[in-house]
Structures are given as C-alpha cells and as structure tokens.
Amino acid sequence: MKNLLILLLVVPILGFTQQNTISDNLFLNYETYKESIITQRRFKHSEIQPLIEKLKSEKDFQVTFLGNSIEGRSISMISIGSGTTNVLLWSQMHGDETTATMAIFDIFNYLKVNKEILKNIKLHFIPMLNPDGAEKFTRRNAIGIDINRDAIRLQSPESRILKSARDSLKANFGFNLHDQSKYYNAERTDKPATISYLAPAYNYEKSINTTRSNAMKIIVEMNDIIQKYAPGQVGRYSDDFEPRAFGDNIQKWGTSTILIESGGFKNDPEKQFIRKLNYVSILAAIHSISTGSFANTSIKKYEKIPRNDRKLFDLKITNLTFSHLGNPYIVDLGINHLERENNKHSDFYNIGRVNDIGDLSTYYGYQTLDAKDLQFKIGETYPKILSDFEEFKKLDVKNLLQQGYTTVSIDSLPNEIKFVNYPINIVDSRKITIPKNNTIPKPPISFRKNPTFLLAKDGKVVYAIINGFVYDLAKNDNKVKNGLAN
C-alpha cells in the first residue's frame, strides 16, 4: 500500500520535472534580476526610457523605434536572440495595466546573463504600448479610444504600430499582456483570479486550429506553474469572439496568442508578487517554446481551468444587524476600497464604499468578518473641537475608537486635505450639521456610501470599521490605509 502511494505520487511529478526545476529556479533567484528602478504600479513613459536607453549598449539587445503615440511619446521594440521562432510580447495597451511591464524589465535583466534560453528563438518586447494612457494611469489612449477595439479600423498610431510589428515579424507566438480587476475570482471559490489566461477565439464558432491549440498548450503549462505559488488562483477568461480585439485577430492572423491578465493577490496592492509570477511563468513559457516541449502537453487540461467570475470584495462583513426606523435588519456588506489619485496620477488614497448590501452568500472577500454575535454601534464625533493638526497628533487614536469615537473635528481644516494616515476620520468643524426635525433619518449604513461604524461585544467596542477598513482593537498590526478628511 505504501509503495503504491509513493508510485502514485511520483509518476505524475516526473512529467513536470523539467518545467518544475526551471520555474523553481526562476522563483528562487528572482530578486537577483528584479529591476529596482520600478517599485510600484504607477510609473510613466519618462521613467522607463532610461532603462530602454541603457539596453542599446547591452550586448545582443536590439532597440528599434517603432513610432510615436498620439501625444508624441516613443514606442520601442526590444529584440534579443537569433533563432527562427519569433515571439512577440506587448504590454500596457491599456495605460493603467502595468504589472507585465514591470515583469518585462525584470526579464531583460535575466536575459542579459542567461542566453541559453534564446537558442532557437528571437524575442521581441513592446513594453508600454499606450504611453499616453500610462501618463494619466487610464485605460484608453489620448483620444479616448480603447486600443483593444481598434485592431481592424486601426485609427490609433499605437494600434498601427502593434499591427505592423506582428505582420513584419510574422510572429509564431504572441503574448498579450494585461491587468484585470482584482475583484475577479476563480469561479465558485473565494480565490482571487491572480492570473487569468485565454487563448482567444478567432471566430464565433470558437474553432480550435493548430495556432490556437499551441496557445492552449502553453497556457496549460503556465497554469501548472502558477498553481505552485498561488494555488487555486488561476482563472480562464471568456473566449467569446470579439472581432475588434487584438488578441482575437492576432490569433486569426496565424500567431499563437496567449492573453495574460494580472488580477489581485491578498495584501499585494502594488502587485509586486504578481509581477514576480508574470516573470516566472513568462520565462518558463519562453523556455518551453524554445525547446518545443509544450507540444507534448494535452489541451484537455485547458478546459479544466476554472472560469473567471467577479464575486470578490475587499471586505465582506456577514450577519450584521442594524436598526432603522425602529426595525432590525440582518445584512451582509460587500465593501471595496476605491482608489482616488493625486493630480499627478502618481499616488492614491482609498475611499471605502458599500458596493453591495443584503444577502451576499454567493460572494467572497479578500478579508471577511462575521458580525453574528456583535452589536452594531454608530461611531460618534469626539466632542472637543481641535484647533489644528498638531493637537490631533497628540491624541491616542486607539483610545478614541475604544470610547466609541470614529471622527474628530478640527477647526478650519485645509480644503486640500482629503485623507489622513490614521485609522480615524477627520471633519472640518464648520461642516458638522445638526439633523433637522421632521425629516426621516438616514439609515446608518447604505448602498454606495462610506462605511464607518463600530462593532461591540458585551458593550465593549472590539472592531472599528473606519473608511471601509477593519481595525481590530485586540491587535496591533492593523492595515488601515487611511481615514477620510472632509
């Protein structure tokens, strides 16, 4: 019995040994190659240009200027290798989808010293295809066109650049690199779809020819790799045919096309771990293309990857009882942390928002809190009006929360202050209004509003929900990004 068990364990492992060793090494040695200039999701064209400039002097790297974006930012292609199989990888056709761009610069560092992977292939990278969108950290280009719906009409220079790169190379493989909402999950599980894949269809019938099945085989291999580092956190994107999209058309034009969507991962707001997963899986896929080993993979496993769903919240609170107009209601709350950017699109603060309320039993949360045995309490405003921020800084915020205060008022709060890096909200004392008589009071929590309240046990406050973040009064490692100021 014991021998049989060992056999059952060993046989399936043998088939993956080679890819396993490669990906394990990539994973383990990642820090050696990580590009240290890029540290967060928001970065611009001007920040990556020096990195591209430097590659011009790097042995075996070839930098080709492909053209300019609508606002005149250069788009370059970086090629390396001398094999006959052409692989084209393009990222950030949507300006706010930067995860793969970060990984591409890590991959360049790897390729500077690891050339054996390039034996049979030539790689071509177009990082940041939509630099104008990146400037404003937005999906579309400077005239508001979604480049991924411009593959046929080709009205944007960015679209024409991608099309002519694909055509001139007659690329054998294409990697179409995007980000998706962090609220996607692997269907019917609470696991975020940290990575989602698609071998896009090239017709409405969703036929599978050799071009598409080769893409599916690569995806099966990449899925096996991601499962090791983020178990259950892979989704399969819908393969409904979109006749205007690049992925679908590039597949149709004969390039085996792999769509990679980077989603969310718990406690990775800047997507640095997901960047690492991109690096590992893309390099392992390149290795597989180079050796041709993907050909031995069955596409049957492609269909087994769970579908993408969109059922996640940042925070799900269940079984919360609150009263309104004298009657109790039991609800679940789905709370998201929206990002509000500064004017330069270089940083953000969060605004908590109740995105759904009611029976949310089919939904999941990155973080969950069961309020079943807890009492809902409205947070009060600290009665003393503070003269300035200096006075505020002297307060013991945790103690205020324990006393039932979720807001502090400050005299003449400057208008430009929208948030505070404390687990409490701040209000300008002049903006405090006293509710009029004869009006129906508002419910203490409502749809699309900011959730700030307290949860008590036996009369004692145990949790403060501040701006949609949980502050656990029994702990010292709370992750409240910010309170609001207005």
Residues that bind Zn ion (CB under 5 A): 94, 97, 178
Which of left, alpha, beta for 412 (phi over 0: left; psi -120 to 50: alpha)?
left
Is the separation of the CB atoms in 484 and 405 below 8 Å?
no
d(CA 480, CA 214): 45
The least distance separating Zn ion from the CB of residue 434, rounded to whole angstroms, comes to 48
The least distance separating Zn ion from the CB of residue 470, rounded to whole angstroms, comes to 31
b/e 354-388 (16+ beta carbons within 10 angstroms → b): bbbbeebeebbbbeebebeebbbbebeebeebbee
Size of the chain, expressed as the number of residues it contains:
486
The least distance separating Zn ion from the CB of residue 94, rounded to whole angstroms, comes to 4
The least distance separating Zn ion from the CB of residue 95, rounded to whole angstroms, comes to 9
d(CA 133, CA 142): 6
**Complex with Zn ion: residue 178 or 212, whichever CB lies closer:** 178
Structural element, H or E, at residue 49: helix 45-55
d(CA 317, CA 437): 32
Residue nearest Zn ion, Cβ-based: 178
The least distance separating Zn ion from the CB of residue 199, rounded to whole angstroms, comes to 16
Is the separation of the CB atoms in 197 and 277 below 8 Å?
no
Cα 463 to its chain centre, rounded Å, is: 28
**Complex with Zn ion: residue 101 or 172, whichever CB lies closer:** 101
**Complex with Zn ion: residue 179 or 224, whichever CB lies closer:** 179
| Residue 171 neighbours by CB under 8 Å, 6+ apart | 86, 87, 88, 124, 250, 255
**Complex with Zn ion: residue 148 or 172, whichever CB lies closer:** 148
Helices (H), 190-271: 210-229, 246-252
d(CA 79, CA 67): 16
The least distance separating Zn ion from the CB of residue 97, rounded to whole angstroms, comes to 5
**Complex with Zn ion: residue 199 or 408, whichever CB lies closer:** 199
Structure tokens at 294: 């993907």
The least distance separating Zn ion from the CB of residue 176, rounded to whole angstroms, comes to 9
The least distance separating Zn ion from the CB of residue 289, rounded to whole angstroms, comes to 23
**Complex with Zn ion: residue 178 or 337, whichever CB lies closer:** 178
d(CA 133, CA 71): 10
**Complex with Zn ion: residue 34 or 178, whichever CB lies closer:** 178
**Complex with Zn ion: residue 178 or 287, whichever CB lies closer:** 178
